[in-house]
Structure 1
Amino acid sequence: MARVTAYAPASMGNVSVGFDLLGAALQPVDGSVLGDRVSVESAERTCLACRGPYADVLPVNEQDNIVYQAMAAYFEASGLAPVPLKLTLEKNLPVGSGLGSSASSVVAACAALNRYFDDALEPKALLHLMGQLEGKISGSVHYDNVAPSYLGGVQLMVADYARKLPEFSNWYWVVAYSGISLSTAKMRALLPDQYDKATSIAFGQKLAAFVDACYRQDEQQALSVLTDELAEPYRAPHIPGFLAAKAALADLGAEAVGISGSGPTLFAVCRDSQSAERAHHYLNHCYLANARGFAHVCRLASDGVIYTSEN
């Protein structure tokens, strides 16, 4: 085929209750683009073109771009002989936003390359490659962004792969990116090296209770444990406006509020469209710090990566 394009949706890491183990893919209900696209096509020489609203913050040297690096890593992992390709990255997600920006680029690149080469890597191997590439940027290998962006929905990392959890179909996920950028590596450095026994037990109990509630479709139980025992206590004070917004959103009917990934994006879970619109209105007017910020009412992006091909 002459050209393959893969769209990888934005994702929330952790989802409060599942630090480094739980992630969710997002799709705005109004059809807005909230994810990166990568196209792959044959070329006389290998090159990378970047465009999109956030292309201006990408590395000037194409070889420093994670999409370019994904190509080299893909050839090595698949055992295919390298051939000259043109890659085009449409960068629609802000860097350092907490919406899986680097993961979206990685997933779109790896998925497009794999489809272009007739799925030379099976899904488990491809996800492993995505995690390794994401780790080069975030500072550690974890899959809670790449797995949902690739596979869709809410993904729980188990052993060496991921499992999609049953969804609560009536939930709206309202997300707001304030417009400031936070380094994932620096936000991870705020966390303690060790946790006490009580905190560790509480984390395990709540994650287990959330997974159980998803399978039994017990909304009340799921919402009651949708809290962050490990990261939010340390990160929240470093995210401007988060604590005030969390309190206000609870008053407006949000059932749960948390930090998306490392922040500064926050998310609010609402059980009806009216509460979601109230949260959206508040965040648009009270959380955004500059013109680059945005807020969206979302559902889960259940399909993950979406492909288009041109012959």
Structure 2
Amino acid sequence: MSKVNNKVSVFAPASIGNVSVGFDVLGVAVKPVDGTLLGDVVSVEASERDELIVIGEFANKLPGEPKDNIVWHCLQLFNQALIARDLPVQTVTLTLEKKMPVGSGLGSSACSVVAALAALNAYYRDNYQVSFEQEAMLRMMGEMEAKISGSLHYDNVAPCYYGGMQLMVPDSEIITRQLPQFGDCFYVMAYPGIEVSTKAAREVLPEHYSRAELISFGQNLATFVDACHRHDKQQAFSVVRDIVAEPYRQHLLPGFEQACQYLNAQGCLAVGISGSGPTLFCVTDSEQQANEFANWLKENYLQTLTSGECEGFVHVCRVDEQGACQLAQ
């Protein structure tokens, strides 16, 4: 193969893991209606040696050493996959533009993982006519995500990669199925500006759940899936309730309980914790109401740090049906 230097950049969007009703098995990709790139961008180009450059608004929140960055581990895994198929490995420079806050509950690590692996795959495809199929890529993404969270779950990487709302299925080949969504709905995402690690959020969960809780969880999730396929919006969002995690995590999120009470009283379709938090999401089918909720959350849910600054933000979003996408150079 002749060496070339056609740079490739891939954007991977934010996602809501769990979506309250589907702990570890349900996730949806989201994108701000104002065109903001809420997610990460990874670029790949030829170089004399492998290296990682980290830039972007939240770059200072990541480890300083490349070997401690998940994107560097993605490169090692991708190279191993190439070697396993007797394919030549090229030296590259990876540039991670970190646009997502760490520990936000918006699938920050999944964004980096998906953007990195998808960019590497696109780089090899465009320059060397070598690429892996989507299912193999998704399995690699799940493996990388597990390194960070401590357990294998696809509820962020699958929607981040494929787009839409994804339901994880117990099939190691298929992994996920896309659910029909409601095109008139808005997802208001409020990141308060504080960090909650996925591992810490998992540690507060109980080891065991009661039979009644298991029945309620299964019934709600089954009803949600059925309602999505029947396009019954009211019934779908009426069962978006978190039996598994929210009761045990809400104390980690200052102002969350009060925000839920207000938003529910104002008639939103659903409200919950995005992933492991601290981001809150709420759903409405009214654009005017979405903007009103966004303004209220800016005033009442974002947290001011001891420095007097606030790193939080609020975005009015729609479902991102595209998922990870290659950017024009």
Residue aligning to 2:24:
20
Residue aligning to 1:54:
58
Percent identity, please. 52
Measured after TM superposition, the shift of residue 309 of structure 1 is 5.3
Q: Contact 1:6–1:111 at 8 Å: present in 2 too?
A: yes
Residue aligning to 1:307:
326
Residue 268 of structure 2 is aligned to residue 254 of structure 1: yes
SS of 2:281's partner is: strand
Counterpart pick for 1:208 among 216, 222, 226: 222
Counterpart pick for 1:292 among 295, 311, 323: 311
Instruction: Give the distance between the partners of 1:147 and 1:262, measured in 2 at CA.
Output: 16
- Larger deviation, residues 5-14 vs 79-88: 79-88
Instruction: Give the distance between the partners of 1:265 and 1:78, measured in 2 at CA.
Output: 37
Residue aligning to 1:128:
139
Instruction: Give the distance between the partners of 2:61 and 2:285, measured in 1 at CA.
Output: 36
- Larger deviation, residues 153-162 vs 98-107: 153-162
SS of 1:50's partner is: strand
Measured after TM superposition, the shift of residue 138 of structure 1 is 1.2
- Larger deviation, residues 118-127 vs 166-175: 118-127
Residue aligning to 2:68:
64
Residue aligning to 2:307:
none
Query: 1:104-152, CA deviations, whole angstroms, 9 ceiling, x for partnerless residues?
Result: 0000000001111115211111101101101111111100000000000
Instruction: Give the distance between the partners of 1:64 and 1:2, measured in 2 at CA.
Output: 27
Could you tell me which amino acid in structure 2 is paired with residue 149 of structure 1?
C
SS of 2:44's partner is: strand
How is 1:210-225 mapped onto 2 (pairs within 5 angstroms)?
A: 210-225=224-239
Q: Contact 1:253–1:275 at 8 Å: present in 2 too?
A: no
Could you tell me which amino acid in structure 2 is paired with residue 236 of structure 1?
Q
Residue aligning to 1:269:
283
Residue 116 of structure 2 is aligned to residue 106 of structure 1: no
Query: 1:164-198, CA deviations, whole angstroms, 9 ceiling, x for partnerless residues?
Result: 11010111000100000011001001111111111
Q: Contact 2:7–2:46 at 8 Å: present in 1 too?
A: yes
Q: Contact 1:77–1:129 at 8 Å: present in 2 too?
A: no
Query: 1:228-256, CA deviations, whole angstroms, 9 ceiling, x for partnerless residues?
Result: 11111111122111000111111233111
Residue aligning to 2:159:
148
SS of 1:27's partner is: strand
Instruction: Give the distance between the partners of 1:128 and 1:269, measured in 2 at CA.
Output: 30
Measured after TM superposition, the shift of residue 96 of structure 1 is 0.3
Instruction: Give the distance between the partners of 1:300 and 1:77, measured in 2 at CA.
Output: 32
Instruction: Give the distance between the partners of 1:276 and 1:309, measured in 2 at CA.
Output: 31
TM-score by structure 1 length?
0.97
The number of aligned residues is 310
Residue aligning to 2:11:
7
SS of 2:209's partner is: coil
Q: Gaps (5+ residues) in structure 2?
A: 305-309
Could you tell me which amino acid in structure 2 is paired with residue 305 of structure 1?
A
**Greater C-alpha Rg:** 2
Measured after TM superposition, the shift of residue 201 of structure 1 is 1.3
Task: Give the ranges of 4+ consecutive aligned residues of structure 1 lying more than 2 Å apart after TM superposition.
Answer: 77-83
Q: Gaps (5+ residues) in structure 1?
A: none
Instruction: Give the distance between the partners of 1:78 and 1:232, measured in 2 at CA.
Output: 41
TM-score by structure 2 length?
0.92
Q: Contact 2:204–2:248 at 8 Å: present in 1 too?
A: yes
Query: 1:63-82, CA deviations, whole angstroms, 9 ceiling, x for partnerless residues?
Result: 11100110000111233343
